[in-house]
Structure 1
Amino acid sequence: MNVLIIGLGYAGQRFRQAFEHVTNRAGVSTSIAYVGRRQKATPLRYFACIDSALQHFTPDIVVVSANDISHADVLRQLAGYQGFVVCEKPLATPTDALNGVQDALSGVGGFALNLIERYSQATQILREWVARHGWELVRASFYWGKDRINDYRPTCGVTSEAIHALDLLRWVCPTAGPLRPDGVLGIRSDFSVSGLAVLDTVQLTAVLGSAPVTGYSSFVNVVRQRTVDFSFVDWEDQLIHARLTFDTPRWDHDHLRIWMRDIDGTELVLHELRLSPSQSGLETLHKLSEFCQQVLDWVVRRQPPPHPFASLDDAVELQELLNQLEHRALTPAAARYNRGAQRALLVEGSDLESLG
């Protein structure tokens, strides 16, 4: 099996490690090649352009892990490709035309957007509880942030971070209805090498079906913080709360807590799960490896995933939602982080916890 990675930077290296792990474990002979602007110090086969790689390497799987500002251009160059496409989130940027992307991918044999928190056992269990008990969403909120100030990687901004929480709201509550933004506030700054006024933070109100939602997401959060809170009512009109916490204190260390409160304030914990995976060699890669395993199972054995992949239609719908955040955000004057003559950028070899 051949896997082509377009963009062997931070995300591309993670995909490389994950696919190497799952194919070795499955005993599937695999060759990995990459496309990049320049050749790297790696034994992997290198291609300078996508057309040449598709023609001479004939990949079964193409991974699009270039910087998000390049996604749309890369995806359009896959026109005519008939294998399976894995795309790092988000699908595109708020300035990209989506119709060309959809047309280019019309002939692919499969597509999956990497919405990694769907592959946390904590998320999957909460989704199962909601479905099994028929809980109705009353309200939800999220706080989703990390520090990407002076990161060396270009970015379209905070929409690339907010996508996780927005997707989880809909994925945990698939019958609640559409997610419609109401009010959006934001901050722009020079936090990124991509510009002097890139949207780095959004605070929003929205409605998921009939349930109000509040949310905050930021690329200039001084610590990594990823939580999503839900309040439900059951068939007996009892109130149930649930909190999902991700990547705390380390990547892939997730936590689910579901509880009720008695009239005297006593909490009745219905379910609690703490995930602390520690398999050697898979640091920061446990959820990504599960995602890649499901892609491998589909491509090699046509084994459907336990839950459908995030399809191209899903990706476009999410992108249209992100575009609304970018275009509707009310922002004051941009903040300035860089006051000197040169930026002090994080280097490409920084540790994964810092970059993630």
Structure 2
Amino acid sequence: MNRVLIIGDGYAGTRFRRAFDFLDESRRLRYSALAVADPKRAAIDDGIRRFASVEEALDRFQPDIICNTTNEIAHVEVFKRLEDYPRSLVLTEKPLAHDEISSSRSADYLSRHLVSMNLVERFSPIVERVRAWIRQLSADVTVIKVEANWGKNRVFDPRPTSGVMSEAVHAVDLVDILFANLTETRWDGFLTEADYASSGAWLPESFSAAGFSRDSRITLSSSFAWPQRIRSIHAMLRSEDRVYSVLMNFDDPKWDCDDLLIREISTTGRYRDELMISTSVENIHPSIRGVSKVVAFIEASCAAWRGDDVNSTLIADTDRALALQRILSSIERDLHRSATRLPLHGATKETDSFFEPSRAQ
């Protein structure tokens, strides 16, 4: 049976533990042992096997499923420690790393492993329903425009961060795989840097980017200073002279509560409902409310690791992770021409790190 190591014991690590415990208890994915590696929480006595370093956990625990749930600025250092470790399944939080250079290094470190990056919204039931609905249209489908808005409140949050691009990766991934290829898009718009993080460092806080993918107008917005969680995508499509509105809302009002509304827009401006889907918390097993998409992510990734037939659109490997990083970098690079600064925090202090200073050398 599997031996599972979770690197990082913060919010994301706790969500992964809940998901693995449910899969084991429900016998959908059994594991023989589960351990946690986190230098700041190694001394906790709660019945979980804990290690003070990744190296110690790899040497003494010898996992075959490794979950990296640290913040993105620590990813490359985590992956460096896996470079010579025997081939394993590596599940990692998004993005692969905090910039293009670090992402490329990370991919090299992970080259012997099967990697699956947690783009959790891919596992929403509404994503596959949109795919299926588009497939049943005629071959003559034109995406007129797509608007995505992704945000949450991270002002003065104590967790380290590389900026809002780590949040926008979800929207970029979904727009790219569902509606419009973003790899060659050039962007206009604005980017705001702010000292909103607990470190006081100047980091990308919000942006609004507009560009064209072929004839499709794409608008992407994301913010780390939004007062509440917002995750929405709206697309307008044309097929056989009919125009459709596709509205997707994620994790509202609670995690994993997703809504899809597809409507035809008549020439008089009237709407006709084509498809309506709503996932409420009552439809989710009580043990995994808030982490049901994480459960699906783990199941699909482990199935791919076993060599089972898995929908390839669900798994984001290192190639996909690098492609997304290039898109994010192009947005940030293009918008930096009109970047502004917004002072929020005040005094600057050193950025926190998952690794002890001696380990980060």
Tell me, yes or no, whether TM beats 0.5.
yes
Identity %: 28
Q: Look up the equivalent residue of 1:201 and give its one-letter code.
A: S
- 1:339 deviation in Å? 5.1
Matched, 1:33 2:40: no
Distance 1:127 1:73 in 2: 37
CA contact 1:156–1:194 (8 Å) conserved in 2: no
Select 2:81's aligned residue among 57, 77, 81.
77
- 1:204 deviation in Å? 0.3
> What RMSD over aligned residues (CA atoms) do the two structures have, in Å?
2.1
**Partner secondary structure for residue 26 of structure 2:** helix
Matched, 1:61 2:65: yes
User: How many residue pairs align between the two structures?
Assistant: 338
Q: CA 1:231–1:319 in structure 2 vs 1: closer, same or farther (change >3 Å)?
A: same
Matched, 1:337 2:339: no
Q: Which residue of 2 aligns with 1:10?
A: 11
Q: Which residue of 2 aligns with 1:281?
A: 287
Q: Look up the equivalent residue of 2:155 and give its one-letter code.
A: I
Pairing of 1:255-294 with structure 2 (within 5 A):
255-278=259-282, 279-294=285-300
Distance 2:316 2:31 in 1: 26
CA contact 1:22–1:292 (8 Å) conserved in 2: no
Matched, 1:167 2:173: yes
Pairing of 1:109-258 with structure 2 (within 5 A):
110-133=114-137, 134=139, 135-173=141-179, 176=181, 178=183, 180-234=185-239, 236-258=240-262
Distance 2:294 2:186 in 1: 29
Distance 1:282 1:209 in 2: 41
Q: Which residue of 2 aligns with 1:50?
A: 54
CA contact 1:277–1:286 (8 Å) conserved in 2: no
CA contact 2:200–2:346 (8 Å) conserved in 1: no
Distance 1:148 1:9 in 2: 15
Distance 1:84 1:192 in 2: 32
Distance 1:189 1:340 in 2: 12
Q: Which moved more, 1:77-86 or 1:321-330?
A: 321-330
- 1:239 deviation in Å? 1.3
**Partner secondary structure for residue 136 of structure 1:** strand
Matched, 1:89 2:104: no
Q: Which moved more, 1:242-251 or 1:280-289?
A: 280-289
Matched, 1:102 2:104: no
- String of CA shifts for 1:29-84, please: whole Å, max 9, x gaps: 43111111221343221222222222222212111111111011211221033011
CA contact 1:127–1:173 (8 Å) conserved in 2: no
Q: Look up the equivalent residue of 2:343 and give its one-letter code.
A: R
Distance 2:102 2:298 in 1: 28
Distance 1:226 1:22 in 2: 27
Distance 1:206 1:65 in 2: 32
**Partner secondary structure for residue 97 of structure 1:** helix
Distance 2:46 2:188 in 1: 47
Distance 1:33 1:131 in 2: 43
- String of CA shifts for 1:166-225, please: whole Å, max 9, x gaps: 000112137x57352322411111111243311110110123344120111001011211
Distance 2:273 2:110 in 1: 46
CA contact 1:5–1:62 (8 Å) conserved in 2: yes
Distance 1:335 1:37 in 2: 34
**Partner secondary structure for residue 19 of structure 2:** helix
Q: Which residue of 1 aligns with 2:353?
A: none
CA contact 1:94–1:326 (8 Å) conserved in 2: no
CA contact 2:254–2:281 (8 Å) conserved in 1: no
CA contact 2:104–2:322 (8 Å) conserved in 1: no
Distance 2:334 2:3 in 1: 42
**Partner secondary structure for residue 151 of structure 2:** strand
Distance 1:107 1:340 in 2: 43
**Partner secondary structure for residue 316 of structure 2:** coil
Distance 1:283 1:139 in 2: 33
In structure 1, stretches of 5+ residues that fail to align are: 343-356
CA contact 2:34–2:48 (8 Å) conserved in 1: yes
- String of CA shifts for 1:211-246, please: whole Å, max 9, x gaps: 120111001011211110111121x13211101001
